[in-house]
Amino acid sequence: MRERTSLEDQISAVKRLEQELEDAITLIELGEAEEDEATIQEGEETIRNLQAEAARRQVETLLAGEADANDTYVEVHSGAGGTESQDWANMLQRMYARWAERRKYKVELLEITDGEEAGIKSATLLIKGLNAYGWLKTESGVHRLVRISPYDSNARRHTSFASVWVYPVVDDRINIEIKESDCRIDTFRSSGAGGQHVNTTDSAVRITHIPSGIVVACQQERSQHKNRATAWNMLRARLYEAELKKREEKASAEAAAKTEIGWGHQIRSYVLQPYQMVKDLRTGAQSTSPQDVLDGDLDPFMEASLAQRVYGGDVEVEDID
C-alpha cells in the first residue's frame, strides 16, 4: 500500500504539472491577445514556479535505492574536544530534527547521552516519512564547525568535530538473521529527563554485536522490554546498512572513497567566524547563511550529493543564498 500510494502521488504530480503548464500557456496567450501585461506576468510567474517544482521532482527520481523509501535512524556522536564538540553534536541533532519537521516527517528521540557541562555525547533520532533514508543517507560522515567559542573566556576561535551515521529502518520485506549468542545485552539507568520511574530503574538497553563491533542503545520507553525490542530493530537496521555499504564498495571503489566515514574524512564545514559559510567538501555546494542551514535548510546539499552519487564526477552547483 505504501508503494502504491507513492506511485499514485508521483503520477498525480506529473498530470497536475502538465495541466497547470497548459493553463499557464493559455493564460499568456489570452494576455497577449488582449494586451494585458498583468495577465502575461501572472502566467510567466506560474511557469517559473512549475519549473522549480519540476526540478525538485526530478531530484526525487534519484531516490531509487533499495531502502531509500524507508524510515531512517540518525546517530550523532561528538568528537574529541569535550564541551565544544558536545555542544556541536547537540546543534547537529537539532539541525536534523528541524530538517525533518520542515518536511512534515515524524521525529522520535530514541537515545541521548548528555555532555558533562553542555551539549550531548551522542543521540539517536528515528525519522519517519517517505524517502527519509534516501534523502539523509549522504549525510553520514564527519561535520566540522569553526566559531568563536562561547565557552572560552578569551573568546578564541575553536574547531569542533562530530560524526553523523545514517542507516535505514528495516521493514518486514527484509530478513536479517542475528544470533543471540553473537550479542551482548546490557541494561542501564536512563539519563536526562523522563520522570522518576525512568531515572530509578535499569530500563535502558544496549546491545553489542560482537562479530561486527556494532553497538546500539535505546532508552526512549519506560519499559525495558520495549526498549529491548527497539534496540533489536536498530541492530538489524545497522547490519543491513553495513551490507548495503559493502555492495556499494564492491560496485565502485571510487564511490566508496567518497563516502568513507572517519575522522579524516570530513564531508562538510560550517564556519561561523571569521566569515560565514557552509561548504560541502564533496560537491562544492555552499551557503553564505549558516544559520539557515543549522535551522534545517539542507535540501540543496542533499540534492547535490545525491546527484553526485548517481551520475558521478563533478556536479555543477550554485551558491545557496
Domain termination site, one of 18, 40, 60: 60
Residues 96 and 212 in one domain: no
| DSSP characters over 238-273 | HHHHHHHHHHHHHH-HHHHHHH--STT-EEEEEE-S
The answer to whether position 320 is within a domain reads: no
Q: Kindly report, residue by residue over 112-140, the tens digit of the pLDDT.
A: 999 888 899 999 999 999 889 999 999 99
Total tally of structural domains belonging to the chain: 3
Q: How confident is the model over 35-69, as pLDDT tens digits?
A: 899 999 999 999 999 988 887 777 777 787 778 88
**What φ, ψ does residue 195 adopt, rounded to 5°?**
100, 170
Residue 66 lies in a domain: no
Domain identity same for 217 and 244: yes
Task: Count how many Cα atoms sit within 13 Å of the Cα of residue 80 in the half-sphere of its side chain.
Answer: 3
Full-model pTM: 0.69
Closest CA to 63 of 112, 103, 109: 103
> Cβ of 1: how many Cβ atoms within 10 Å?
5
Clarify whether residues 235 and 298 are in a common domain: no
Claim to verify: residue 90 and residue 224 sit in the same structural domain = no
| CB-neighbour burial class of residue 179 (10 A; exposed 0-12, middle 13-18, buried 19+) | exposed
Q: Are residues 79 and 165 in the same domain?
A: yes
* Nearest to 92, CA basis, from 103, 78, 82: 78
> Are 143 and 91 found together in one domain?
yes
Write the DSSP assignment of 186-251 as a string of letters.
Answer: EEE---SSS-HHHHHS--EEEEEETTTTEEEEE--SS-HHHHHHHHHHHHHHHHHHHHHHHHHHHH
Distance CA 219, CA 259 (A): 30
142 and 284 both lie in a single domain: yes
* Structural domain boundaries enclosing 22: 2-60
Q: Is residue 317 part of a domain?
A: no
**Does residue 137 share a domain with residue 270?**
yes
Q: Same domain, yes or no, for 162 and 269?
A: yes
What Å distances lie between residue 319 and 15, 162, 249, 300, CA to CA? 32, 24, 30, 9
- Beta 141-148 vs 266-271: how paired, if at all? parallel
Residue of 206, 129, 209, 142 lying closest to 168 (CA atoms): 129
Give the rounded percent of residues in the chain with a pLDDT score beyond 70: 85
Phi-psi domain of 119 (left: phi exceeds 0; alpha: psi -120 through 50; beta: other) = left
Residues 151 and 276 in one domain: yes
Q: What is the CATH number of the domain that holds 243?
A: 3.30.160.20
Low-confidence ranges of the chain (pLDDT < 50): 194-199, 254-262, 313-321
In the block, residue with C-alpha cell 508521483: 10
